């Protein structure tokens, strides 16, 4: 079979699986928001509305219908691109998400970039020093990175670089499209805070993968060829260590898409994380549902990209054999 057809088949199967995933997520999200305490009709109508008014709103919103009917009508709307309107300000949920998503995506991508840039050298260093002081120290440092709470680290960064040294602003956000220099200056501290924290876990994977590959026969063969240690690391050990590292990096990306709440809060960045938290407190479930579905889509997209990346990293992995 030619490559093009294989790729199409794979993509189709992948799409089917994605739809299924999203359906399951939507059911969970829907059930979850139903189970939360608080009455959306009350929120819509206002705190001092009469009971009749609340009932009227409930009817208008369709909240008096049986749950399966509510779910089906919700899914029908979502499929046609209608995520509903926010209970708080009446704006379409999709607009809210579109407004908040770029900040979160930028933060996540830049943080991961920083994390990988720290993790790969640190992991190699730790592996090379395995059994020696330098290795123990690097491992201890990554362990520290894992155990220090991210928000505390963020606050420390603000204290040192924004308050004391005044190199950066302590918080705020300017969209990338408006002024990229201002955007990056404001992003620097949150990106470093998140990236450093994230690098710890990746570094530990790099270390164990490098240690593992270093004992491979083909590394001995490379030594027997008379290659330098540097070249062996660059051409043989690192490329073969990348699969587990890409896997964990992909997972981190997925985790971050919903988990940047703390960073966004500490640095005052208007992202998806904060939107979710604010909406939960405001009982604005329609928005919460929209955000969670969006996050699910992104996670699936990231996973697909990771799978495609595998086929680039290792010629033995093909779309044909990859399954779904």
Interface residues with other proteins (CB under 8 A)?
A: 216-218, 220-228, 231, 235-236, 239-240, 313-316, 320-321, 323
Nearer to other proteins, 297 or 317 (CB): 317
Shortest spacing between CB 95 and other proteins, in angstroms:
43
| Angle (nearest 5°) at CA 63 between 59 and 66 | 115
Q: What is the DSSP string of 4-22?
A: HHHHHHHHHHHHHHHHHHH
Element (H, E) at 291: helix 285-313
Paired with 92 in beta bridges are 85
* For other proteins, the closer CB: 16 or 46: 16
For the bound state, the minimum distance from the C-beta of residue 224 to other proteins, rounded and expressed in Å, comes to: 5
What are the residue ranges of helices labelled H in 48-92?
Answer: 51-61, 67-79
Shortest distance in whole angstroms from residue 217 CB to other proteins: 4
What is d(CA 256, CA 231) in angstroms, rounded to the nearest whole number?
34
* Closer residue to other proteins in complex, CB, 124/232: 232
CB of 18 to other proteins, least distance (A): 20
> 36: which residues sit within 8 A by CB, 6+ positions away?
280, 283, 285
Nearer to other proteins, 66 or 315 (CB): 315
In whole angstroms, the minimum distance from the beta carbon of 141 to other proteins comes to: 24
* Cα 106 from chain centre: 11
Among residues 63 and 227, whose Cβ is nearest to other proteins? 227
Q: Is the dihedral of CA 255, 257, 260, 261 positive or negative?
A: negative
């Amino acid at each position: 079979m030619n490559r093009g057809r294989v790729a199409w088949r794979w993509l189709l199967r992948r799409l089917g699986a994605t739809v299924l995933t999203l359906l399951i997520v939507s059911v969970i999200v829907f059930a979850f928001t139903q189970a939360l305490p608080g009455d959306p009709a009350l929120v819509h109508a206002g705190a001092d509305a009469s009971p009749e008014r609340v009932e009227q709103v409930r009817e208008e919103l369709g909240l008096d219908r049986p749950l399966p009917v509510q779910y089906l009508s919700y899914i029908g709307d979502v499929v046609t691109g209608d995520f509903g309107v926010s209970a708080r300000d009446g704006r379409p949920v999709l607009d809210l998400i579109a407004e908040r998503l770029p900040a979160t995506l930028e933060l996540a991508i830049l943080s991961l970039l920083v994390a990988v840039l720290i993790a790969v050298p640190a992991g190699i260093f730790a592996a090379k020093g395995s059994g020696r002081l330098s290795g123990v120290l690097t491992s201890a440092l990554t362990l520290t990175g894992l155990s220090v709470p991210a928000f505390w680290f963020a606050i420390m960064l603000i204290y040192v670089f924004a308050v004391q040294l005044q190199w950066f602003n302590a918080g705020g956000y300017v969209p990338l499209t408006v002024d990229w220099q201002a955007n990056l200056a404001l992003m620097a501290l949150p990106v470093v805070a998140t990236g450093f924290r994230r690098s710890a876990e990746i570094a530990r994977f790099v270390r164990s993968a490098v240690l593992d590959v270093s004992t491979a026969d083909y590394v001995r063969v490379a030594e027997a060829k008379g290659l330098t240690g540097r070249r062996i690391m660059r051409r043989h050990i690192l490329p073969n260590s990348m699969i587990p590292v890409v896997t964990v990096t992909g997972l981190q990306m997925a985790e971050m898409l919903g988990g940047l709440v703390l960073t966004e809060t500490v640095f005052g960045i208007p992202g998806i994380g904060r939107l979710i938290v604010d909406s939960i407190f405001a009982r604005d479930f329609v928005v919460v549902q929209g955000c969670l579905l969006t996050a699910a889509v992104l996670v699936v997209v990231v996973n697909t990209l990771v799978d495609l990346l595998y086929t680039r990293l290792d010629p033995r992995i093909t779309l044909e054999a990859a399954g779904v």
